[in-house]
Amino acid sequence: MTWQNWAGTVSAEPARRYWPRTASAIADAVKDAAAAGLTVRALGSGHSFTPTAATSGAALDLSNWTGVVSADATSGLVTVRSGTTIRALNAALDSLGLAMPNLGDIDAQTISGAISTGTHGTGARIGGLATFVAALELVLADGSAVTCSEAERPDLFAAARVGLGALGVISTVTLRCVPSFTLAADERPLPLAEVTARFGEFATDNDHFEFYWFPYGRKALVKRNNRNAVAPPMAAWRRFWEYEVMENAAFGALCRTGRAAPRLIEPLGRLAAATLPKRSYSAPSHQIFVTPRRVRFVESEYAVPRESVLDVLAELRAGVSRLSSPVMFPVEVRVAAADDVWLSTAYGRDTAYIAIHQYTGLPYQEYFRLLASIAASAGGRPHWGKMHTLDAARFAELYPRFADFLRVRDEMDPEGRFSNPYLEQILGR
Ligand SMILES: Cc1cc2nc3c(=O)[nH]c(=O)nc-3n(C[C@H](O)[C@H](O)[C@H](O)COP(=O)(O)OP(=O)(O)OC[C@H]3O[C@@H](n4cnc5c(N)ncnc54)[C@H](O)[C@@H]3O)c2cc1C
């Protein structure tokens, strides 16, 4: 049975598939695949744009290995099975009076897929999802199980939180959650010139700040989400109208028009920028962090030192006007605090993320090459789950602890049981 990712950019024909329902079934699957001489990849929800989960060996589908194992509302420590989606996690945390401190844009990913590729949201004082991990349980290449945390096997813990599935199969993830909280969202269009002039202020004055800019438009959609702010709730019909009808159905129609008639893309981009919504409302945190994304696209994203992002954006803006094929989707800029996870894109530096997208079926290669070359001179680290062409030699320059990661990988998986061609590209053989 063919496996395909969400964006439709990667497909694979695994020789075998396993659907483990217990931790020992995960170990049995790894041993069984090893006995057959097959490599092993765990499957998340397939939301990576890179071929990180793809395998022609054994695929471990963890969709039957879900749910909460244990939860302590006082400490906020919650252990979940690795195939749990973020959507299911949020629902389970809701009923416990707990929440994830921060989330990305969507909730379709599995928790283990999300942390393994360094999935992040936005917030200058907060890190990505892997920074909320308190402990991991992994099944190693020989089928044995290990636990790691700050106190137990700290090197494995530093490597495995953003581990790319290279060290073993994560069986459970223990998360440091927080009491559930409400966020007040303020979303409004502002002139791009004002957003860039006030970027530092917006990043530091808000718990969660990001902006979207449609190439060819003059305005950006600025999103500021805060805990200690007040706003009315949004009626369900309005939420449906704004997010489902306008941001998905109407935007999807705009994209299809642009794909059918590319000469219209620039005016459509200007139209989209001129009609950006203004709204202010409050809701449980995960309902603010997460929005439905039904229009398919491809994406590339780089983490750069925060002080470089405006230069990167300025160069990108200048370059976009020279592209031979126009761009239909907005550029997204987010921020994150420095962290200590070896392969986290925010390792050791306060970070800004610049993400570019293109509607599925439209040319994107020249555009993605443009950002790659601009980000390279700023020391840009690509998101592990989003399109890029960098290799192990470059990552050795970009990540101070890259050699340590490889050392731990070689100890945990000396035969390359958990490898695939993408991992060979990014980690070397
Ligand atoms: C519409 C959309 C929106 C997105 N929004 C964001 C965003 O806001 N922020 C952001 O940072 N990223 C975002 N992403 C990227 C996405 O979060 C990552 O690519 C993430 O890895 C996808 O999770 P998944 O469950 O689909 O994992 P997959 O893509 O299926 O797998 C990712 C990797 O994790 C490994 N893996 C999965 N499970 C395990 C396990 N149990 N043990 C070991 N390894 C495992 C896989 O082998 C693979 O290497 C988005 C992607 C899409 C398509």
The pLDDT tens digits for 119-139 are 999 999 999 999 999 999 999
DSSP 232: P
- Contact (CB, 8 A) for 378 and 304: yes
Q: How far is CA 385 from the centre of its chain?
A: 7
Instruction: Give me the amino acid identity at 318.
Output: A
53 lines ligand 1 (CB under 6 A): yes
pLDDT of residue 1 exceeding 90, the answer is: no
- CA distances to 11, 91, 251, 424 from 85, rounded to whole Å, are 21, 10, 26, 27
Confidence of residue 97 (pLDDT cuts 50, 70, 90): very high
Closest CA to 107 of 177, 181, 45, 22: 45
Q: List the alpha helices (DSSP H) in 51-110.
A: 86-96
What are the tens digits of pLDDT across the range 414-427?
999 999 999 999 99
Beta bridge partners of 3: 12
196 lines ligand 1 (CB under 6 A): no
How many other C-beta atoms are found inside a 10 Å radius of the C-beta of residue 371? 25
Confidence of residue 27 (pLDDT cuts 50, 70, 90): very high
pLDDT of residue 247 exceeding 90, the answer is: no
Find all residues with CB under 8 Å of 240, minimum gap 6, and list them.
Answer: none
Find all residues with CB under 8 Å of 48, minimum gap 6, and list them.
Answer: 5, 10, 113, 117, 384, 385, 386
pLDDT of residue 155 exceeding 90, the answer is: yes
206 lines ligand 1 (CB under 6 A): no
Rg (CA), the chain: 21
164 lines ligand 1 (CB under 6 A): yes
Q: How many angstroms is it from 130 CA to the middle of ligand 1?
A: 12
How confident is the model at residue 78, as a pLDDT? 98
Q: Two tokens at 78?
A: 């919650």
Decide: pTM greater than 0.95.
yes
Q: How many angstroms is it from 191 CA to the middle of ligand 1?
A: 33
Find all residues with CB under 8 Å of 226, minimum gap 6, and list them.
Answer: 183, 184, 186, 206, 207, 208
User: Angle at which helices 251-260 and 265-274 pack, to 10 degrees?
Assistant: 160
How confident is the model at residue 428, as a pLDDT? 95
220 lines ligand 1 (CB under 6 A): no
Residue 191, classified by CB atoms within 10 Å of its CB into exposed (0-12), middle (13-18) or buried (19+), is exposed
How confident is the model at residue 261, as a pLDDT? 95
Q: Two tokens at 167?
A: 């060290």
- Pairing status of strand 351-359 against strand 297-305: antiparallel
pLDDT of residue 228 exceeding 90, the answer is: no
User: Angle at which helices 365-377 and 309-320 pack, to 10 degrees?
Assistant: 150
- Contact (CB, 8 A) for 319 and 370: yes
Closest CA to 159 of 413, 350, 409, 339: 409
- Contact (CB, 8 A) for 54 and 10: yes
3-state DSSP helix/strand/coil percent for the chain, to nearest 5?
Answer: 35, 25, 40
State phi, psi for 222 to the nearest 5 degrees.
-100, 130
Beta bridge partners of 43: 61
- Contact (CB, 8 A) for 386 and 50: yes
113 lines ligand 1 (CB under 6 A): yes
* Mean pLDDT calculated for residue range 229-240: 91
Testing ligand 1's pocket by substitution, the residue of 106, 131, 137, 290 carrying the most ligand atoms inside 8 A of its CB is 106
104 lines ligand 1 (CB under 6 A): yes
- Collapsing DSSP states into helix, strand and coil, what is residue 331? strand
Closest-CA residue, ligand 1 atom 5, reads: 105
